[in-house]
Amino acid sequence: MKKLTVSLDHCQYPIYIGKGILAKLPEVLQEAGMTFRRKLFIISDSHVAPLYSKQVQTVLEKAGYEVGMAIVPAGESSKNLQQLEHLIGECLRFGLDRQSVIIALGGGVIGDLAGFVAATYMRGIPFIQIPTTLLAHDSSVGGKVGVNHALGKNVIGAFHQPMLVLYDVETLNTLPKRELISGFAEVVKHALIWDPSFIKWLEQNSEELMALHAEKISEAIYRGCQVKVAVVSQDEKEVGLRAILNYGHTIGHALEAVAGYGVYTHGEAVAIGMAGAVRLSTKVLGTDKQVVVKTEKLLHAFELPTQYNPSHVTDELLLQAMKRDKKVRNDEYSFVLTSDLGSVELVRGIHEEQIRTILQEIRGGKA
């Protein structure tokens, strides 16, 4: 089992990564200072709960905890205020108090939703992240929690750090392939923004990673989390550096929204967004074209797309969606751009014309 520690000004918490470590939950709870048997409440979704909730519940009950559970329908559409209210009702009915702990068992949707329940219930109670998707190596770390509004994704939320993250890589064996691939986009992102040696390692190990070789996947998650931890611990509330985690997300978020949620997975959209961002970097920063070639090659090694299908979206709609994004001011766009592999920066004042050129380049052939 690998362990990483997130150290922030006001708190510190561990991330455990390994194969078959769900069984160790009582042990790590003890280590995290849970010396008495508080009430625990699992929040999961309709895909994950049938696979893993019994196991989690049993191991905790055997250790003497009283455990409740609520299950929401799987998918992004559960990340809303109605579910929040419903779940808070369930917490009240189960008698959770301020000493109780919520357990988020699932992917990023559950992490964000259950984390936000924990952030708001009785003005905030502790929670634990048990991520079950590859993408959630990103979302379970860093304390951003929240739900969507009809007019925007993740616009209702809070910063609420978990008390620990327990990542059992065995759960990835049941993850649909497309979701796995989506998660690799964020792994690749973490390498591209921070760590040239991680990029090399991903290039060399892509086949074993795609085949879910347990040790390799643990290593990839560990290294991805390491980047996230390094960034978040320098800028927890995104006043500066943390913005670099949005590499590929300006175009990516626009693509997700315009195509309609579900047409592209988050990772597919971010992969196309990174292909756009690296191409824009050659125009704005004069980045070497080899960086584009290498970036796209790495994304393709994980079967990720680097072009969007124009029958799903138009450039106009994409630009409009980008304008609604928090990162556009006075018609000037901000983009996280790359000067070289493993190094990015936030660049302001990018003009619409430059983005139009890039959109043409990453527009696929099918009309």
Ligand X SMILES: NC(=O)c1ccc[n+]([C@@H]2O[C@H](COP(=O)([O-])OP(=O)(O)OC[C@H]3O[C@@H](n4cnc5c(N)ncnc54)[C@H](O)[C@@H]3O)[C@@H](O)[C@H]2O)c1
Active site residue 309: no
Active site residue 348: no
Residue with tokens 């049993």: 58
Active site residue 238: yes
Catalytic residue among 216, 266, 279, 327: 266
H helix or E strand, kind and range, residue 198: helix 196-210
Q: How far is the CB of 208 from ligand X (least distance, A)?
A: 19
Burial 221-231 (b: 16+ CB within 10 A, else e): bbbbbbbbbeb
Active site residue 144: yes
Footprint of ligand X on this chain (CB under 6 A)? 45, 47-48, 51, 74-76, 79, 106-110, 112, 132-133, 135-136, 138-139, 142, 144, 154, 171, 174-175, 179, 182, 266
Q: Give the integer Cα–Cα distance in Å for 53 and 171.
A: 11
Q: Give the integer Cα–Cα distance in Å for 62 and 47.
A: 24
Cα 327 to chain centroid distance, Å, stands at: 19
Pairing of strands 152-159, 164-168: unpaired
- Quick one: which of 195, 194, 224, 197 has its CA closest to 15? 224
Instruction: Yes or no: say if 44 and 53 are a contact pair by the CB < 8 Å rule.
Output: yes
Active site residue 249: yes
**Which residue is at the shortest CB distance from ligand X?**
108
Catalytic residue among 38, 216, 223, 249: 249
Active site residue 62: no
> What SS3 class is residue 364?
coil
> Which of 74/212 has CB closer to ligand X?
74
Packed helices 249-259 and 266-284: angle between N→C axes, nearest 10 degrees: 130
Q: How far is the CB of 207 from ligand X (least distance, A)?
A: 22
Q: How far is the CB of 110 from ligand X (least distance, A)?
A: 6
- On whether 24 is known to bind a ligand per the annotation, the reply is no
Active site residue 266: yes
H helix or E strand, kind and range, residue 259: helix 249-259
Instruction: Yes or no: say if 45 and 109 are a contact pair by the CB < 8 Å rule.
Output: yes
Q: How far is the CB of 38 from ligand X (least distance, A)?
A: 24
> What SS3 class is residue 61?
helix
Q: How far is the CB of 6 from ligand X (least distance, A)?
A: 13
- On whether 186 is known to bind a ligand per the annotation, the reply is yes
Structure-block tokens of residue 194: 């921070």
Catalytic residue among 90, 208, 238, 303: 238
Catalytic residue among 228, 279, 327, 363: 228
> Which of 1/51 has CB closer to ligand X?
51
> Which of 47/190 has CB closer to ligand X?
47
> Which of 136/202 has CB closer to ligand X?
136
Q: How far is the CB of 176 from ligand X (least distance, A)?
A: 6
Cα 167 to chain centroid distance, Å, stands at: 14
- On whether 306 is known to bind a ligand per the annotation, the reply is no
Active site residue 316: no
Instruction: Yes or no: say if 328 and 322 are a contact pair by the CB < 8 Å rule.
Output: yes
> Which of 174/197 has CB closer to ligand X?
174
- On whether 282 is known to bind a ligand per the annotation, the reply is no
> Which of 28/185 has CB closer to ligand X?
185
Give the catalytic positions in this structure.
123, 144, 186, 228, 238, 242, 246, 249, 253, 266
Residue ranges of the annotated binding site for Zn(2+) are 186, 249, 266
